[in-house]
Amino acid sequence: MFKKITIIDNVILFPDQFARLGACANSIELGLGLSTEEIARRLLIFEKTGAKVDCITECGSERLSEDELVSVLRETDCLITCWQPITRPVLEKLAGHLKLVLYWTDITRIDRKAADELGIVVDNVPDYGTQAVSEYVFACLLEMLRRPSYHIKRAHSGSYDYENFKHARKGVFLTDDIFEETLRGKRLGIAGFGRIGQQVGIIAKCGFGMDASYFSRTRKKAAEQMGIEYSSLEEMFETCDVVTAHFPATVTSPVIDRQLLYRLRPSAIFVNTGSAAAVDYEALLESLEAKRFRAILDVHPGIPDRKRLNKIDNLIYTYRTAWYTKQSLARKGEILIGKLERYANQLGR
């Protein structure tokens, strides 16, 4: 059991998970971020000034200076955090008593080399929303290609496209008269083939009857055996009807640049639910504004510029929604508490 667990960000736990958290330490200190009013004030500032933040939820966490962090953690042997950077000097001052730093997700904010040298364990929750993100890709593709929300609104207003077509007595239709398309038979390119990319490939092949190819730094024999072909990015962007990007957060510079985006056909759809930094975002928006192709975006380099994005009618965009389900939140909390319990048990031996 830990002597003291300190949480310095708003980590989301369900009641049963929170109860288990309390059983892992003699005392728990909760630094659950800022007031609702302060978060709202900061959001307004960021929106007006365009100040850089990685994620809106950062607005609800208070960054501690190195001295403040050392003071807050002076009796802590376990830290749980999401956004707090932790440097070597801080770790050196805490090494006498700090045993574990457990990140909610992003483990890149701590000097891991220093932690390892000082005997401080660093861990995180890397995989909790694979299924949710994979499903979200197809939910948005179906929204773009089948337009269920459009037809729901039409039905509520008493206007039905099918009846309008049937009574128009045109006799012959042009393909441009009908916007809806099926996924079956389309070719999907998956750029970045980790856990999420692989699950997207399985859903595409087995669920929708799509042809699929992937790009990765390493070849995936199991995927190739089920008919998901390896492809270069250049070939993928030239030949695929849909390209979906799934690079991890550790990718911090564009893999998908302006030249690759220009290879997409006008009918193509580009999807990004992975690292926003993996794509040349400005080039992407310029291409969309020029109607070069269509896109679905759930990630952005900071808070989305709604004024600009709302004018792009060949774009569906959301904000970090792909992972957000009951099941993902429950899984994330379960993994976090499960790891915490194992570390606490090891201390008790």
Mean pLDDT along residues 90-112: 93
pTM: 0.86
The single residue listed with the structure tokens 């390896």 is 230
CATH classification for the domain delimited by 2-128+327-348, as one of 3.40.50.720, 3.40.50.970, 3.40.50.1470, 3.40.50.2300: 3.40.50.720
Whole-angstrom CA distances from 146 to 54, 64, 158, 163, 180 are 32, 47, 19, 17, 5
User: What rounded mean pLDDT belongs to the chain?
Assistant: 90
Could you tell me if residue 317 is left (phi over 0), alpha (psi between -120 and 50 degrees) or otherwise beta?
beta
With a pLDDT cut of 90, the percent of the chain lying above it is 71
* Residue 95 and residue 74 in contact, taking contact as beta carbons nearer than 8 Å: no
pLDDT at 138 > cutoff 70:
yes
Question: Residue 284: which H helix or E strand, with range?
Answer: helix 281-289
116 pLDDT tier (thresholds 50, 70, 90): very high
Q: Do domains 2-128+327-348 and 130-324 have the same CATH topology?
A: yes
161 pLDDT band, cuts 50/70/90, is: confident
Per-residue pLDDT, 59: 60
Dihedrals φ, ψ of 309, to 5°?
-65, -35
Least Cα distance to 65 among 114, 117, 113, 8 occurs for: 8
Average pLDDT value for residue range 59-83: 86
pLDDT classification of 168: cutoffs 50, 70, 90: low
Q: What are the boundaries of each domain within the chain?
A: 2-128+327-348, 130-324
CATH of domain 130-324: 3.40.50.720
Average pLDDT over residues 79-99: 94
Give the model's pLDDT for residue 129.
93
Above pLDDT 70, what percent of the chain?
89
- The CA angle 312-314-319, to the nearest 5 degrees, is 70
Residue 252 pLDDT grade (very low, low, confident, very high; cuts 50, 70, 90): confident
Mean pLDDT to the nearest integer, 199-212? 97
User: Phi/psi of residue 78, each to 5°?
Assistant: -140, 125
pLDDT value of residue 57: 64
Helix runs in 226-268, H state only: 233-239, 258-261
How much is the pLDDT for 347? 78
